[in-house]
Amino acid sequence: MQTIDTLYSINTPEGVALRLMPAGPVLRFYAWLIDTCIRGAVMVGLAIALAYLDELGDGIFLILVFLIEWLYPVYFELFHNGKTPGKSMMGLFVAQENASPITPASSLIRNLLRFVDFLPFAYGFGLVCMLSNNRFQRIGDIVAGTVVLHVEAIQPLTEQDNIIAEVPPRPLQLDEQQAIINFYQRRATLSEERAEELAKVAGSLVENKTSAADYLSGMGRWIMGKR
C-alpha cells in the first residue's frame, strides 16, 4: 500500500505489517560516493603492490579491478545485510520489495544493470527512473524487484486503539464506506498533516471538527464494527 509520503506498508508472511521508507537519490548518491572512494583506494593499493610484476602485474590488476567493480556491492549486499560500507554509513540497506533479504539473483541483476543506469553518462537514466516512481527505484532495482530502504524507518504498524468509534452523521453509500475504511487503515502510514489534508476531502462529513482525521478514522472504526 503506497502513501502520499512515499512510505508504503507490506504484510510479512508472519502476518506483521511493516511500514517502509525508500531512500531518495541524495543519500544514495552519498553512499555511492563513499563506496566509490573505497574501491578507488583499494585499486590504487593494488596497482602499487603489483607494479613490480610488469605485464603480469598489469594482467592481474585488470582482473582484480573487474572483480572489485562488479562484485564489491554484491558481496556486501549478500553477506552484510544489504549494506555496503557507504549505505551503512548513510543508514540505508538493499532489500527485496517486500523487505525480505536480497537474494543472490536479485543482487547480481541490480548490479549488472548499473551500466544501463549509468547511460548516457553520470547515471542519467538511473536518476530519471528514480525520480519517476514512488519507491525511487533505478532500472536495476525495478528489474531485480529490489528497493533501497532507510533502516530506521522500518517499524510495525500498530492498531489505532486510541481512536474512538464515531457514528456517521448520515447514512453512507457503499463507496463512501469503503473510502472511509481505506483511510482508517492507511492512517498509521500518514503524517498528521497529510492525514488532516486527506480527511478534509470528505467535506461536510468532517465539517467543524477539531481533528478531521481523528473523526473520519473514528467513523472507519465504527463501520468496521470496532466499537
Half-sphere exposure in the Cβ direction for 139 (13 Å, CA): 14
- Quote the pLDDT of residue 153: 60
Question: 50 with 63: CB under 8 angstroms?
Answer: no
DSSP state of 100: P
Confidence band (pLDDT; 50, 70, 90) for 4? very low
Half-sphere exposure in the Cβ direction for 43 (13 Å, CA): 16
Q: Which residue would you say has higher pLDDT here, 160 or 148? A: 148
Element of type H or E holding 147: strand 146-150
How much of the chain, in percent, has pLDDT values that exceed 90?
44
Q: What tens digit of pLDDT does each residue of 12-71 get?
A: 554 456 678 899 999 999 999 999 999 999 999 999 998 888 888 889 999 999 999 989
User: Which residues 6+ apart lie within 8 Å of 22 measured at CB?
Assistant: 6, 8, 134, 135, 136, 137, 147, 148, 149, 150
- Quote the pLDDT of residue 2: 40
How are strands ordered across the β-sheet holding 155-156? 8-11, 17-20, 155-156
Q: Is the pLDDT of residue 138 over 90?
A: yes
Alpha carbon 140 to its chain's center: 14
